[in-house]
Amino acid sequence: MKRCIACGMPMSKKEDFAERDEKKDYCKYCAREDGTMQSYDEKLKSMTEFIVKTQGFDIKAAENIAKDTMSKLPAWNNI
């Protein structure tokens, strides 16, 4: 099973991949409308909002969690 290089989500079904393209290394949640991968800042914002919404952390704590998570993912190695 592949994992998204930008957020770490497991991608086990075709529907999980950006544009349903199993050759892509990132998931549907990390893709822009045109199918390209979100930038670091776009992903940080959306991941932070997701953590606030699903786990109830305040915005600063959620941002720190998102930054820590993203720092371990291949898409953000050079950032």
* pLDDT reading at 5 higher than 90: yes
Total structural domains in the chain?
1
The pLDDT assigned to 45 comes to 98
The pLDDT assigned to 79 comes to 79
H or E segment and range at residue 10:
strand 10-11
pLDDT tens column, 9-36: 999 999 999 999 999 999 999 999 999 9
Overall average pLDDT of the 60-73 stretch: 97
